[in-house]
Amino acid sequence: MKRLIMLSLLLSLSLFNVVHAQEYSMLWKHETDDRVRSVSITPDGEHIVAGSDDYNVYLFNREGKLLWKYKTDGSVYSVSITPNGEYVVAGSWDNHVYLFNKEGNLLWEYKIDGIVRSVSITPNGEYVVAGSWDNHVYLFNKEGNLLWEYKIDGIVRSVSITPNGEYVVAGSWDNHVYLLASLHMISKI
């Protein structure tokens, strides 16, 4: 009896996995001219941004239609998009941080002293953070003004920012996680 119950349970679990696996399907794909380094999607799935070793930033809609692409001067290592799709930020091998609007217009670009390995943007697009191979974390406002930069002890591999821009976190090749506070934001509280 125990074996029959176990067999029944295993069979039902395997059927659940098969049914569960069948709920997903590929909707579309788009081939770039080289490896894709980074992707980001809006919460509603309406906009998808990609960065590629072919030096391009791509924006697609949910149906896979290419809305625009922008050619940089280096591999695009990191991309991020605001939840409403209004802004796209990209970081590139060409030492630049780029901010675009949803139409693909370049709003600003900022050259730093190293490859931009990671970028993140606040949901309202007010703040952009970038991490670089020059061991720095950079914070910009929506207008492209550098608000501050912070030197850490290794290459910055990953960055993220809180929705209000108050805190920035960075991960580094020096085996550390850094939490940085934007003093201009804390003073407003």
Residue pLDDT tens, the chain, 189 long:
666 555 555 555 555 554 455 677 899 999 999 999 999 999 999 999 999 999 999 999 999 999 999 999 999 999 999 999 999 999 999 999 999 999 999 999 999 999 999 999 999 999 999 999 999 999 999 999 999 999 999 999 999 999 999 999 999 999 999 999 976 544 333
- Judged on CB neighbours under 10 Å (0-12, 13-18, 19+), 26 is exposed
Its pTM stands at: 0.85
Element (H, E) at 15: helix 2-21
pLDDT of residue 24: 79
pLDDT of residue 47: 98
Residue type, 156: V
pLDDT of residue 6: 55
pLDDT of residue 182: 77
pLDDT of residue 55: 98
pLDDT of residue 29: 94
pLDDT of residue 155: 96
The beta-strand segments (E) located in 84-163 are 87-92, 96-101, 106-111, 116-121, 127-132, 136-141, 146-151, 156-161
**47 CA to centre of own chain:** 13
Q: Are 92 and 107 in contact (CB under 8 A)?
A: no
What the chain holds in terms of domains, given with CATH numbers, is 35-186 (2.130.10.10)
